Structure 1
């Protein structure tokens, strides 16, 4: 290992540790309800991440290495997804060709500019009107009316790479967070006179989840590409499904945090494939 490599790795570890501490100091509350639109944006968390350079890292040579590892901490802490999307310079919306006959944006409304991701690529558009909708997750999803932005700019390849790394790490963090909850429950819950985790079937589920979770973490730390990110929500969904089986009915209650992880994974599983494909098709160096 060269001195330069060791220095970079030390810097990455320091930055990741800082992001972890910030997430702990500014936790994101559960803003979701099945009856009203939800918005979990966290002003304090955004401010503190901005202060340490979260949004500046995308321009660094080792952005993918840094953001993959740091994005993991955001996912485990259930931070709002806009912190990842804004690495692209603007928010994200899905075009009507992807979701039916409407355009949907997350964390954006009238007056904002977003990357509208459609079947042919991503286009920069200005939102003229928006209507918040109830959604499966608290991502401030809204039906939007938009028109092409007057000043079109290319989608920088490094920004796309940074977003891919951070989102892969974020999804890995969601899987790890859910697994921590399920593993702790299995160790504490008694069944047939012994911890639930001692039962062979449960132990095997936990082992499979650990393998998948660690695989996601490794992928996030190794400059993931579009293909890796396409697969990440699928792997995380499998972890969530097993965690729900371990917890039983408790995992579906609003009082227990597992449902926050599983709702977010389900939402990202719906959005991510189309977004990745559109961004990859429209990157300026592509």
Structure 2
């Protein structure tokens, strides 16, 4: 897939996700665009593009089950969830818009964690960029003491730190090729999205806490996705234990 084709696909997917109701309707629309065929033929750009756009647009679809299957998904804290439309959520800690239902024990075949973590990592990255765009727009438009918020150094620092975290996570996601790389990429994306949530909330101030502003939806989505397939904190500890047991740190990418 050349860059021109990828750009055209990105524009088409973005328009579809912003004009189609999330959930089953979006599943149908993605299937009509050939999402599953694209996943089979070009898995890496398909996953990166679709899941990043899900984060940027705030939409959701069952694309993750197309990637990992319909098995039970591990969740932070030793819990398990399934993606199931129509069941609602039984845990107030989960995103009420996502059809994630807690279960007591895993069922079905084991989840291919590496590909799943890369997919959720791209989703988290898109969510982080959505929050950054909201905060940046607010900083440019809002005037305090006769100056735009973007003119204040403290605001600039928060936005810059957010961008650096997101750019770093994207680099790790792009370089992830094996199980350890995917684990670290998911951890980096989760931490970057949580960093974005913290800094962007501070930039937006009180308006960011209101139900009328879209930030809270992205913050909630970031927290939930960070826990899916292992949180940033858990995965970082897991990676450290793995490196310690091996007695050496593998080269993850050629610098």
Q: TM-score, normalised by structure 1?
A: 0.69
Instruction: Give structure 2 stretches of 5+ with no counterpart.
Output: 236-255
Instruction: Give structure 1 stretches of 5+ with no counterpart.
Output: 1-6, 29-41, 111-129, 278-286
Pairing partner for 1:23 from 7, 17, 23: 17
1:163 and 2:116 equivalent?
Answer: yes
Q: Cα–Cα, structure 1 residues 162 and 22, in superposed 2: closer, same or farther, change >3 Å?
A: farther
Once the 2 structures are TM-superposed, how far is the Cα of residue 109 of structure 1 from its aligned partner?
7.7
Once the 2 structures are TM-superposed, how far is the Cα of residue 190 of structure 1 from its aligned partner?
0.8
Question: How many residues are aligned here?
Answer: 229
Aligned to 1:124: none
CA RMSD across the alignment: 3.1
User: Hey, which of these two has a bigger chunk of strand by percent?
Assistant: 1
Structure 1 contact 19–73 (Cα < 8 Å) conserved = yes
What is the SS of the residue equivalent to 2:228?
Answer: helix
User: Hey, which of these two has a bigger chunk of helix by percent?
Assistant: 2
Higher relative contact order (CA closer than 8 Å, sequence separation 6+): 1
Structure 1 contact 72–173 (Cα < 8 Å) conserved = yes
Aligned to 1:281: none
Once the 2 structures are TM-superposed, how far is the Cα of residue 179 of structure 1 from its aligned partner?
0.6
What is the SS of the residue equivalent to 2:82?
Answer: strand
Q: TM-score, normalised by structure 2?
A: 0.76
Aligned to 1:4: none
Aligned to 2:35: 54
Distance in 2 of aligned mates of 1:219 and 1:175: 15
Q: Cα–Cα, structure 1 residues 222 and 79, in superposed 2: closer, same or farther, change >3 Å?
A: farther
Once the 2 structures are TM-superposed, how far is the Cα of residue 83 of structure 1 from its aligned partner?
2.5
1:216-241 per-position Cα deviation (integer Å, ceiling 9, x unaligned): 34444445622211221111101110
Once the 2 structures are TM-superposed, how far is the Cα of residue 96 of structure 1 from its aligned partner?
10
Distance in 2 of aligned mates of 1:221 and 1:15: 19
